């Protein structure tokens, strides 16, 4: 019998396990794959997450980047230097996710990887989690099994507000790496292409976040790789994966269980940032479970309220900005990205120094004014 069973060893699950175990709770992490495991992801992490932990993330960081470049159809570049700010962390998810789990293990959490959950059952006052390797019981559950996981459905969250976005990514080995984060907006509709450098190569990907007509991701990404970096993506394995974009406030708790990470549909609808909100949700989930175990009757309900207040409120602004920008991206690029102050501001939003609520209103007004002939 565990105080909490966490399904999924990504940033949300690992962070929840660390904070719960640190408070003396018995924690079991179940992960269907063997750790470390590859996870398609650009791997850009806001350094703001460091304030939520008491250990050094340096061993899990591939490199730190303080320069961003935006382009439109590979031209019209805008370069932004993060002056006086902590550089953005570039990580590989196999290393980063496993590192957080290892910190949780040092605090006493137990990991059972290569253990796929096959079903769950609520037994009076506890959950029975069935796996291919047997059954385990826990007083509480945290479902952190990602965009493709089954836990939310099994827990009864069948009508979640869930906007699924699509992405395709390539991990391209390379030498003489250009240490600049790149965003390309003109080659793809309703999204962007990214190139996030690592010490030994590039994470090149494409994603759309607003829906619309289908696009040939592979063809577009192939043109980008060759045109911008002389990289043939066909020489490397390609990974397609969904993203669970935030699409409105919703209930994230049920009987002795809560959703965290992408299972809670919290990916930023403007930038598709997922790691920072996943970690935030994992930490808040840990706090809620700890309080529930301590006797707070409405602790899980407060978790939903906290995520709505501390993340959802800002995502409403992110969604409005995304709707304005991606509907008329060329106007958005000229009126927004090409303004040095606007580009620097978005960089600050990404690294957690500013919130959308502080900047989105002015940005939307500027974009809509440009659409109708304003300045």
Please give the mean pLDDT across all residues of the chain: 92
- Is the pLDDT at 270 greater than 80? The verdict is yes
pLDDT for the residue numbered 253: 98
The angle, 0 to 180 degrees and rounded to 10, between the axes of the packed helices 313-327 and 356-371 is 20
Residue 61's SS3 state is: coil
- Is the pLDDT at 68 greater than 70? The verdict is yes
Span 368-372, average pLDDT: 63
Give residue for tokens 């007004």. 365
Residue 319's SS3 state is: helix
pLDDT for the residue numbered 213: 66
Q: Where are the beta strands (DSSP E) in the chain?
A: 2-7, 27-30, 44-45, 63-65, 67-72, 75-81, 88-90, 110-112, 117-123, 126-131, 134-143, 163-173, 181-184, 191-198, 201-208, 238-245, 253-254, 257-259
Q: Which two tokens stand for residue 154?
A: 């099994």
The span from the CA of 127 to the CA of 136, in Å, is 8
pLDDT for the residue numbered 374: 45
Buried b (16+ CB within 10 A) or exposed e, 262-301: bbbbbbbbbbbbbbbbbbbbbbbbbbbbbbbbeeeeebbb
Residues 236-260: pLDDT tens digits? 999 998 899 999 999 999 999 999 9
Residues 25-46: pLDDT tens digits? 999 999 999 999 999 899 999 9
Which class does domain 164-244 fall in? alpha beta
Residues 80-138: pLDDT tens digits? 898 877 899 999 999 999 999 999 999 999 999 999 999 999 999 999 999 999 999 99
Q: How many Cβ atoms are within 10 Å of 375's Cβ, its own excluded?
A: 6
Residues 168-214: pLDDT tens digits? 999 998 888 889 999 999 999 999 999 999 999 999 999 998 866 67
Domain at 2-63+90-159+247-320, CATH homologous superfamily? FAD/NAD(P)-binding domain (3.50.50.60)
pLDDT for the residue numbered 375: 41
Q: How confident is the model at residue 366 (pLDDT cuts 50, 70, 90)?
A: confident
* pLDDT over 70 percentage in the chain: 98
Q: How confident is the model at residue 370 (pLDDT cuts 50, 70, 90)?
A: low
- Is the pLDDT at 343 greater than 90? The verdict is no
pLDDT for the residue numbered 345: 83
pLDDT for the residue numbered 230: 86
Domain boundaries, the chain: 2-63+90-159+247-320, 164-244, 330-373
pLDDT for the residue numbered 203: 94
Q: How confident is the model at residue 10 (pLDDT cuts 50, 70, 90)?
A: very high
pTM, two decimal places: 0.94
The closest alpha carbon to 196, from 171, 218, 224, belongs to 171
Asked whether the domain spanning 164-244 has the same topology as the one spanning 2-63+90-159+247-320, the reply is: no
R_g (Cα) of the chain, nearest Å: 21
- Look at 182-191, 254-263, 278-287, 356-365 and tell me which has the smallest mean pLDDT: 356-365
């Amino acid at each position: 019998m565990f105080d909490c069973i966490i399904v999924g060893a990504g940033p949300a699950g690992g962070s929840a396990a660390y904070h719960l175990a640190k408070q003396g709770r018995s924690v079991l992490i179940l992960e269907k794959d063997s750790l470390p495991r590859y996870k398609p992801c650009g791997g850009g992490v806001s350094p703001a997450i460091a304030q939520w932990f008491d250990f050094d993330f340096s061993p899990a960081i591939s490199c730190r980047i303080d320069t961003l470049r935006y382009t439109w159809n590979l031209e019209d570049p805008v370069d932004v230097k993060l002056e006086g700010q902590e550089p953005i962390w570039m990580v590989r998810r196999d290393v980063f996710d496993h590192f957080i789990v290892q910190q949780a293990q040092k605090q006493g959490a137990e990991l059972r990887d290569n253990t796929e959950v096959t079903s769950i059952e609520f037994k009076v006052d506890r959950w029975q989690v069935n796996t291919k390797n047997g059954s385990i019981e826990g007083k509480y559950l945290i479902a952190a099994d990602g965009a493709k996981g089954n836990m939310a459905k099994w827990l009864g969250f069948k009508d979640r507000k869930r906007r699924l976005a699509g992405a395709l990514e390539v991990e391209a080995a390379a030498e003489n790496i250009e240490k600049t984060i790149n965003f390309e907006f003109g080659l793809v509709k309703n999204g962007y292409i990214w190139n996030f450098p690592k010490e030994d190569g590039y994470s090149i990907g494409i994603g759309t976040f607003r829906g619309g007509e289908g696009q040939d991701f592979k063809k577009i990404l192939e043109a980008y790789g060759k045109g911008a970096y002389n990289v043939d993506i066909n020489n490397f394995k390609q990974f397609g994966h969904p993203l669970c974009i935030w699409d409105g406030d919703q209930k994230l708790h049920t009987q002795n269980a809560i959703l965290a990470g992408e299972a809670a549909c919290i990916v930023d609808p403007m930038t598709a940032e997922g790691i920072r909100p996943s970690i935030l949700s994992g930490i808040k989930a840990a706090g809620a479970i700890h309080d529930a175990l301590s006797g707070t009757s409405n602790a899980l309900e407060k978790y939903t309220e906290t995520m709505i207040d501390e993340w959802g409120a800002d995502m409403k602004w992110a969604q409005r900005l995304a709707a304005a920008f991606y509907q008329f991206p060329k106007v958005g690029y000229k009126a927004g990205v090409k303004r040095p102050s606007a580009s620097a501001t978005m960089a600050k939003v990404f690294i957690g120094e500013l919130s959308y609520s502080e900047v989105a209103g002015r940005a939307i007004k500027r974009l809509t004014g440009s659409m109708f002939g304003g300045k």
